[in-house]
Amino acid sequence: EICLSDWSSDVCSSDLAVDARIAQTGDDCVFLDARGIAGFETLFPTVTAVCRAAGIDPTRQPIPVVPGAHYSCGGVRTDVHGRTELPGLFAAGEVARTGMHGANRLASNSLLEAVVFAERTARRLKGATMVQPGEATAIAPPEMNELAMVELRKRMHSQVGVVREAKGLATTLDWIEAASHNVGPAARALTASRLIVAGALARQESRGGHYRSDFPTTLAPHRTFMRRGEDGQPLIHHSAIAEGV
């Protein structure tokens, strides 16, 4: 079971501002001028390295910027020891949803998940009696061709990126279903995209990195859970969060 974004946080305003500016001007990007920051190379070595690898010297040139988003904020639901509801399956780190940060973990917020809960999971596994699995047959999912992947990326970026709304999400979901008939519903990229789009369409509010232009306000905190139905389609249900929990 996958849990999507739980708790309220500020909308990623910088991404929204950049997205609005690009839409207004029609430019490919905006520029961040860091030339006046003393010691920029020392303060931001990773940014400096990435820029220079792209042929940009941030100490001498403005940095081109485009908006970005964590398309999916959530994870596999676990207890405090990393156990999922599937016996024998544990999850820790960014793949897990422990509830410690809601499910909207960004950047270094996942440090607690990766360090504390990884250790808890390891300790529980160390003391567990491991049952050897029986024989199983693995079936590799079908792969999408490059043209279909490019089209999927374009649609996910334009319709499921920084700013989302029902029409764009529904259109993207329709395209994913059509592509599934051609490629196969188990294609990994289509499976991930279907979950992301269906979850975004079901969450009729704006919260954290999920911004709906048709639902700009934030509702009372609640959890959203997704399961795979027998027909392969996502089953979604919501659960209220008690105040102070």
Question: What is the identity of the amino acid at 45?
Answer: P
SS3 201: helix
pLDDT in tens, 78-92: 898 999 988 888 998
Instruction: Flag whether pLDDT at 11 surpasses 50.
Output: no
pLDDT score for 6: 40
The answer to whether the CB of 192 falls within 8 A of the CB of 180 is no
Contact yes or no for 72/195 (Cβ under 8 A): yes
Give the integer Cα–Cα distance in Å for 67 and 226. 27
pTM of this structure: 0.74
Structure tokens at 26: 């029609």
| Type of residue at 137 | T
Count other C-beta atoms under 10 Å from residue 212's C-beta: 19
- Report how far residue 23's alpha carbon sits from residue 11's, in angstroms, rounded to the nearest whole number: 18
Q: Indicate the burial class of 33 (C-beta count within 10 angstroms; 0-12, 13-18, 19 or more).
A: exposed
Amino acid at 51: C
Residue 161 has pLDDT above 70, yes or no: yes
Q: What is d(CA 85, CA 90) in angstroms, rounded to the nearest whole number?
A: 9
Is the confidence at residue 16, as pLDDT, over 80? no
Q: Helix or strand or coil: residue 234?
A: strand
The residue written with tokens 């156990």 in the block is 83
| Assigned token pair, 88 | 């024998």
Indicate if the pLDDT at residue 164 is higher than 70. yes
β-strand 211-212 against 163-164: which pairing, if any?
parallel
Written as six digits, the tokens of 135 are 């024989």
Which tens digits make up the pLDDT trace of 44-74? Answer: 999 999 999 999 999 999 999 887 766 567 7
Lookup: tokens for 191? 């499976």
pLDDT of residue 69: 63
